[in-house]
Amino acid sequence: MSLAGKRALVTGASGALGAAIARRLAAQGASVWLHAHSRADAVQSLAEAIGAAGGHAQPIVFDLGDDAATRAACERLLQDGPVQIVVNNAGVHDDAVFPAMRAEQWHRVIDLSLHGFFRVTQPLLLPMLRTRWGRIVNISSVTAIMGNRGQVNYAAAKGALNSATRALSLEVASRGVTVNAVAPGIIASPMADAAFDAKQIAQLVPAQRAGTPDEVAALVGFLAGPDAGYITGQVISINGGIV
C-alpha cells in the first residue's frame, strides 16, 4: 500500500493519535505535513523522528480556529503541489453536563472539530480533485454514534462530521477521491488514562482493554492507501466491540 509520491496533511499531529497516524503514513511513503497550534515543539520532534526512521515529514503551525491563518497555511501547502491525503484529526474536549455547559464550551468544540474540517479541506479539495486521486479521512468518535453524558457538544460536532463525510463522499466519488470517517472508542492516551481505569474499561469494552493509537493509525493508513479505493462515505468504528 505504497503512498510514495503522495503529500499528506495530518491535523492535530502533536497528540498521541495524530502522531501515530503521521508515522504510519510516512512509513507507507507519503510526505507528511504535521499540523500543530500550541505545541510546535512536539511536531518538530516528530518530524525529526520520522526523518531518522527514513521517512519525510515537516511541521506546519497554525491556528485551525482562525480562518485567515488556516487559509494562509493551505496556500503554503499548495505551493509545492496538491495535497492528496487529508486526515482531519484535530479536535478538543471541553466536557460539561448540558444544563451547566457554557456557550464558549459549545462553540469551541464545534469550531475545532467541524469548522476546522471545513477550513482545511475546502481549499485543498479542488487541487486534489484535479489529480483524480485523493483520500480524506475524518477522525470521529464512538460518542457521535452512541452519545455520552457530559459530551453533548462533542457528540454534536462529531455527528455533524459524520454527516459531512457522507455528503462530501457523494460529491467527489467520480473523481477518484474517497471520504471516510474513523470512529475510535477508548484509545490509550493521557486523557483516556485519566478518565478510565482498567476495571471501567473491562466493563465497557468487550475486548476488555483500551485500543492503541497505532491500531487506529493502521486503519487510517489502509483507508489512505490504494487498496481502499472502493470504500467511501463510511463511518468505521474501531472500539473493541462496543455496540
Each residue of 101-144: pLDDT tens digit? 999 999 999 999 999 999 999 999 999 999 999 999 999 999 99
The SS3 assignment for 37 reads coil
Map grid coordinates 497528540 to a residue.
15
CA angle 62/222/116 to nearest 5° reads 25
Q: How many angstroms separate the CA atoms of 163 and 158, rounded? A: 9
Q: In what order do the strands lie in the sheet with 177-184?
A: 56-61, 31-36, 7-10, 85-88, 134-139, 177-184, 235-238
Span 42-52, mean pLDDT?
Answer: 98
Say which amino acid occupies 101.
M
Q: How many angstroms separate the CA atoms of 1 and 152, rounded? A: 38
Residues 6+ apart with CB under 8 A from 108: 65, 92, 94
Domains with residue ranges and CATH for the chain: 7-186+214-234 (3.40.50.720)
Q: Which of 33, 62, 117, 154 does the annotation list as catalytic?
A: 154
Banded model confidence at residue 215, pLDDT cuts 50, 70, 90 = very high
154 carries an active-site annotation: yes
Each residue of 162-179: pLDDT tens digit? 999 999 999 999 999 999
